[in-house]
Amino acid sequence: MKNNRWIFVIFLLVLGLFLALNLKNKPKNSEQSLLVNNKDEPTFLIEGFPIDKVPLYKLTKVSSNKIFVNTDPINLSNFGEENFAYYNVVFYSDASQEEFLNYYKSLFESQIVEEYDSPDMVKGVIGQYKVSAAHYGSGDTGYVQVHLKDYNDDSLNKYFLDFPDVLEVNSSLVEHEKSYGLLNQKGGEIEYTKYFTVIDSGDQNDDGADDVDEFSLLEQDFKKENQDKAEYSYDEESGTMKWNDKDFEVTLVISRDHGRIYLMLRKGMDK
């Protein structure tokens, strides 16, 4: 009887150790979602997004996933930094706003708290990444940004190797942002974007007026270059020019108000 009692005690100790190890290795929340289960369906997550480090909480559907590289000196990242690169994911989640924000706070190795924190966003560090997560409460949409350490990281080059050459860039344009992404719409689309700042030559002869209207010259050049392209159109009021280039639908916006030229290219993922 005494031997049987010791065997039972040892069994309980082994069982307790086994359960403790399993609880320790269990993910923080079993309801986090990594990928779409059906391998025949696109996930709409671009290659390289660190889904193993930054899960998409209670994911129901990815709306879009993009990589941005921004070098505009007047733009700061969510973390107050110039010259930055980040993955941006917009997705639908079954989590409430409180659940959503608390989940990402639980993932942070350290939380970044600012003097004027937004109640709709949390920020922190996960491994090598700075991460922001936002949920605005009125719907079921979550927003996650994963910032890389170096905007010049060589791993980013692969996203832009196939960026279509559809725009002749002259010396009055400075590229300040580019992006590549996947959109969960129209059966799935690939998107490339860029924006350029227009350099104002200013008043060279000191007569109190700009010597050159750079936007008018660019408008004329863009019309000349593209007016014979398939599906060409131009809306003078909005400054929006459209045409087709091979499989891509191209949209070019001449924005005087912003002092920028915006370029967007989209095509179906099946093309």
- Residue type at position 201: S
Q: Quick one: pLDDT at residue 37?
A: 41
Task: Among 125, 152, 179, give the residue marking a domain's end.
Answer: 152
Q: Quick one: pLDDT at residue 210?
A: 58
Give a yes or no: residue 8 inside a domain.
no
Q: Quick one: pLDDT at residue 165?
A: 95
Among 34-38, 48-52, 71-75, 125-129, which stretch is predicted with the lowest mean pLDDT? 34-38
Q: Is residue 159 exposed (0-12), middle (13-18) or buried (19+ Cβ within 10 Å)?
A: buried
Give a yes or no: residue 85 inside a domain.
yes
pTM over 0.75: yes
For residue 166, the enclosing domain spans 160-268
Q: Please give the C-alpha separations between residue 73 and each of 33, 81, 176, 195, in angstroms, as whole numbers.
A: 36, 10, 8, 13
Residues 125 and 196 in one domain: no
Residues 125 and 175 in one domain: no
Residues 141 and 223 in one domain: no
Q: Which residue has the higher pLDDT, 61 or 204?
A: 61
How confident is the model over 149-202, as pLDDT tens digits?
Answer: 999 999 999 999 999 999 989 889 999 999 999 999 999 999 999 999 998 765
Task: Among 130, 152, 174, give the residue marking a domain's end.
Answer: 152
Confidence of residue 102 (pLDDT cuts 50, 70, 90): very high
**Residue 255 DSSP symbol:** E
Residues 136 and 170 in one domain: no
Residues 140 and 82 in one domain: yes
Please compute Rg for the chain using Cα positions.
25
Task: Among 133, 152, 171, give the residue marking a domain's end.
Answer: 152
Q: What is the torsional sign of CA 132, 86, 128, 152?
A: negative
Bridge partner residues of 141 (DSSP): 92
Over residues 225-247, the mean pLDDT reads 97
Say if residues 254 and 261 touch (Cβ distance below 8 Å): yes
- Residue type at position 25: N
Residues 165 and 256 in one domain: yes
Number of domains within the chain: 2
**pLDDT beyond 80 at 203:** no
Residues 128 and 186 in one domain: no
Residues 138 and 204 in one domain: no
Residues 199 and 249 in one domain: yes
Residues 40 and 148 in one domain: yes
Q: Which residue has the higher pLDDT, 11 or 181?
A: 181
Give a yes or no: residue 220 inside a domain.
yes
Round to whole Å and give the CA distance between 127 and 114: 20
